[in-house]
Amino acid sequence: MGPGKRSLTTAAMALACACACAVLATPTVAYASPTPTPTRTPNATPTPASNKDLEAVRKKLDKLYHEASVATDAYNAAEEKARKQSAEIVDLAREIVKGQAKLDKLKNRAGAAARAQYRGGGLPPEAQLWLSDDPQEFLDGAGRVRQGEHATKGLLAEMTRTQQDLRQYAKDASAQWKKLEANRKTKAEAKKKIKERIAAAEKLESQLEKKEKERLAKLEEEAAYQAQTTWLSSGILAEINGKASAQGKKAVKYATDQIGKPYGWGAEGPGSYDCSGLTSQAWASAGHGIPRTSQEQWKQLTHVGIKDMRPGDLIIYFDDASHVGMYIGDGAIVHAPRPGRTVTITGAGSMRILGVVRPDA
């Protein structure tokens, strides 16, 4: 049933009301009996939606949840960037504080050197040598003055470098603030889109009768089953015989231990997960960090052929890499499907495969 279509129960009720209005509008005929026997209107029976209508609903839901998944990836990417940018700003702030303290110390030293030079000034060097009781002592003193002048030049150069560093730190911090603000806007826009798509999907589902929802669930299962059957009929499973690595086994155990927990967009556990939150946390538990989003997992991790995949590898789905599941062997994956569903096991070929990546290649 497409957008705007209600269950045929609504249409039946509207038709009943229209008939009632038509009866009331018809001129009446007088009868001798003052109390005519009332007629009973049979209850309206809702007409079930056709399979064609439900298939249209299924496709519409798939589209809405896919768009929500894409927006979730955008949200997660912005969240990850914001986290890194915040850390960089904190580091830059520390460097600025350290640089300012260093500059203050250098200024004090430069001031002390200038005062010492002023106190040692006065007569020209020739006069000081003429009046000195000990020429050698004077020459030693002159050497120290030259060393002092050299040190002062070095001090001034260090002050200049420190000032330049402080200006660069401040510039970098300002740039990071701008990026952070931009990512906050991206997160807000993605969050809004996620909520809109999920709300639209939930509204569409709420318009179905209980039996229609049950039939819709069966249609979803049948579509997944047919896709998996087609994938297996190619004989691909006979070619897949890779063994899980030690880390892969740990990742698979973590992921399968989460079965039954609800999907939550942007969630990384322990109570709920989105698709890439599950895979990234599973591999983190195995001691191997991977990118947070399915799109970055596809971009950054090593690609392997489907026939070469082994348990623990990640299967990326759809042309935009908007979904990911973990291969667990025997042609199956564990994944967090979508809002309203829980972490579960399904056929690896039940969705359109983009490719396979290996975290611990």
Catalytic residue numbers read 275, 323, 335
The torsion angles phi and psi of 329, rounded to 5 degrees, stand at 105, 165
Alpha-carbon Rg of the chain, whole angstroms? Answer: 37
The sign of the dihedral angle between the CA atoms of 60, 272, 264, 340 is positive
> What's the longest Cα–Cα distance across the chain?
153
> Residue 305 to residues 41, 155, 175, 358: CA-CA distances in angstroms?
66, 61, 41, 10
Does residue 324 contact residue 279 with C-beta atoms inside 8 Å? Answer: yes
Measure the CA–CA gap between 323 and 76, rounded to whole angstroms.
13
Measure the CA–CA gap between 86 and 286, rounded to whole angstroms.
27
